Amino acid sequence: MSDSIRTGCLVLEDGSAFEGRSFGFGASVCGEVVFNTGMVGYPEALTDPSYKGQILVFTYPLIGNYGVPGGHPQNGLSPLLESDRIHTSGLVVCGYSPHYSHWNASRSLADWLNEYQVPALEGIDTRALTKRLREKGTMLGKLLLSEEDLPFHNTNGENLVSLVSPNRPLLHKAGETRIIVIDCGCKHSIIRSLLDRKLTVLRVPWDYNFLEEDFDGVVISNGPGDPKMCSETVIHVQKAMERNYPIFGICLGHQILALAAGASTYKLKFGHRGQNQPCIELATNRCYITSQNHGYAVDIKTLPPDWRPWFTNGNDTTNEGIRHASRPFMSVQFHPEAAPGPVDTNSLFDEFLRML
């Protein structure tokens, strides 16, 4: 291979291959190949722990044109990113812009990818690739950037949450009311949304017995993989429900709350990833545009009688939210904190605040 222009290939488990040019780290990786339909927000997406173990394809054709933002941590949180590192296994784009322009940019996307040893390919027909993933469903894939081949690696049976959850509790002080956040791979914007409302946040590991702590309510965060791998989390949430603590689940947290209630979850054909997903609130028939990143959904037919569907997806009618008929438990499949994306549903944090 040429040192100046390194070539590479994305190979899917169905045997299809897409050749391109490398602009990230020069190593081969395996992962589940998924696509994101957002027009902006690649720094937030790449640092979202929910993408752990996945090779991310951006459908928007131009990526990298505004670089990567800088900024010093505030209250232990990145001010503009969703975690302190890139979590995707690899990146695939149609066109990469090495020349970036933004007042807050501190470096190029390529430099950032190299820092965290994340390979990336450009020059891929991402439209054809996305159509294949939509028609056949999410597939395993491998980014090959050297002569060495790799076997496909299926992470569906692995507990990916354990790889992105903190290994000890972390405290963020802001007010008298104290919230437990079960950090299954929590985006920093969720924490910031709670701190903005003067709530002190204790982030705990996914399997931590938080019931021995002093707290007023519980938020179950987003995270990667199959919610059924988080059996310890489900048990702790069930015990919090028995004590009638206010509970708010987001994304994976929505699925975990449903499991704790006795419902079931299933894997979607290709998931929802982007900032343009329409969700309809069933009680009002009002449509909200939401930011999403998930590959699993709640089977609404398995909900117990005292639970109600809350939101539904306007594209495929899958469930996007549930709430208890009389007790302070609610959850949504989309991301009310957005980051990136529309903030149509940010007021759900205020609704949680009223439940406390």
Please report the pLDDT score of residue 76 as a whole number. Answer: 83
pLDDT tens, 277-309?
999 999 999 999 999 999 999 999 999 999 999
* Alpha-carbon gap, residue 165 to 248, rounded angstroms: 18
The answer, yes or no, to whether residue 321 has pLDDT greater than 90, is yes
Share of residues in the chain with pLDDT > 90 (%): 94
The answer, yes or no, to whether residue 2 has pLDDT greater than 70, is no
- The two tokens of residue 104 are 């807050």
In this structure, whether the domain defined by 161-355 belongs to CATH 3.40.50.880 is answered with yes
Residue 1 confidence class, pLDDT cut points 50, 70, 90 = very low
Class of the 7-144 domain? alpha beta
The neighbour count for residue 213, using CB atoms within 10 Å, is: 12
Domain residues of the chain, as ranges?
7-144, 161-355
Same topology between domain 7-144 and domain 161-355? no
Please report the pLDDT score of residue 4 as a whole number. Answer: 54
Mean pLDDT to the nearest integer, 80-87: 96
Q: Which of 32, 251, 272, 294 is catalytic?
A: 251
Cis check for the bond before 340: say yes or no (omega within 30 of 0).
yes
Residue 29's contacts (CB-CB under 8 Å, 6 or more residues apart) are 55, 89, 90, 119, 142, 143, 150
Active site residue 351: no
Active site residue 335: yes
The answer, yes or no, to whether residue 69 has pLDDT greater than 90, is yes
pLDDT tens, 237-250?
999 999 999 999 99
Mean pLDDT to the nearest integer, 157-178: 97
Q: Mean of the per-residue pLDDT values for the chain?
A: 96
The answer, yes or no, to whether residue 5 has pLDDT greater than 80, is no
Active site residue 87: no
Please report the pLDDT score of residue 245 as a whole number. Answer: 98
The closest of 92, 106, 31 to 61, measured between CA atoms, is: 92
pTM for the model stands at: 0.96
